[in-house]
Structure 1
Amino acid sequence: MFCLLGPNGCGKTTLLDCVLGLLRPQQGKVLLNGTSIKDLDAPKIARQVAYVPQSHEKTFPYTVMQIVLMGRASYISMFSSPNPEDIEVAEQALELVGISRLRDRPYTHLSGGEGQLVMVARALAQRTPLVIMDEPTAHLDFKHELTIMETIVHLVRHTGLSVLMATHFPNHCFYFENSGIQTRVALMNHNKFLAVGRPGEVLSERNLGQLYNVRTKVMTWDLGDSHQLKQVIPISTLNNDLTYERMK
């Protein structure tokens, strides 16, 4: 897991668009397995990097299976139909995400959480070593947010998948680390990385204060068997702290 963490407008989505080949960086370069992305056409990029957006417009009532099969587009020529292998790959993706039961449901009839799981399954159907996720839990309720997080942990742990994920929530980074997933996080602001490292090293109260102008407390609980749980608890914005001190 590699998490991009930072405030709105810091450049997270722009960076992801560069990695996907949708934008070209003004400086530097993006390499996919040692090859510059500018030298790769869209189908070749699609076989190395898949994408899960933070939201997806449900315009046409395709079935869930049809949506997941769209992840096979880079393997199917323009005038061909999905072959039995493509269908099997899509079926496996649905099973991995745990939504085989939704196979024939219209995509437009799904809840937000179910729809996001379909996006994950579509990305898995691309059979890429890397999946990029842009705030995949945005707009989801408490349960579906946790479902997406559990699904990501399961996929990384059992399939060897690598995930580059932009998020607004420091506890997402701790969740992956708490789950025993090898995790790194980059604190990003003003189009730059301020710090990169393991969540337990980088997500300090001081760094979070500088990044978000928020006072926090990083808590650690001992769960036994040498297993610890870390969480960030927000206390107040620093501006609020100053106002409170003046009032006293």
Structure 2
Amino acid sequence: MEREADVSGILSQTIETVGAAGRSVIVYVLVLGLLSGFGALFGFVSMDDNLFSMRLFEGGFDTETVGMLGALFGLANLAVFVIASYFLLTQMMAAMGRPMHAGARFWSFVGLSILAAIGVMIGFVFLVIPGIIVMVRWSAANGYLLSGEHGVTGSLGASWKATDGHGLSIFGAGLLIWIGLAVLSSGVVMGVGISGSGNMLSPMFALAITLSSIVESFSNAVSFAFSIAVFHLLAPTDTSVADVFE
């Protein structure tokens, strides 16, 4: 059954995307979760997951850096996150019958992610609402980029045009997903706080960080599925993506 790009349709398509790429989602979540747990076990990851962060010791804060090894681990963790995110998005596109036709687009994906993050950040500086508008209107950009029909700026422009008239539906569906993920993560956050109140170099702390990272990674995977769902509903599958704007 063909879905409409309304709140119900976007939510249903997001769930279908997660399910269709289920194996890749599991790999993505486990790889990032276990990597963070490994870092926590050896003291490379702190409670707030920053390279220059405050560690918890006996109920008090000690403002120390995680050191050179921790910094290197943080950079490696970031690289794995970017690569894994690109892999997951390509698998979601393929699962929706929208595989790439223009070869690898990894560096374009990196450029798009950086540019979109800067745009959203600037938008949030201007009283939040512009940032939300930018997030909504660029929500399909990943799909347009990975389809191979557009470059970095072209994908942002294509998403902006395609989402015209669907902003409220995209915002409503995204808000419901965000609330659901927030409820899911709330219990884990409390557990991390309790488990992290002792020595950082402990299996319990590593387990807490692993669980927290797994939930965070799953949230990221759902967010990626949401972006592919919006693209899938707004870009026709029977003609070239470029035909949307003719």
Q: TM-score, normalised by structure 2?
A: 0.25
Which structure would you say has the larger RCO, counting Cα contacts within 8 Å and 6 or more residues apart? 2
Larger proportion of strand: 1
**Of Structure 1 and Structure 2, which has the larger fraction of its residues in helix?**
2
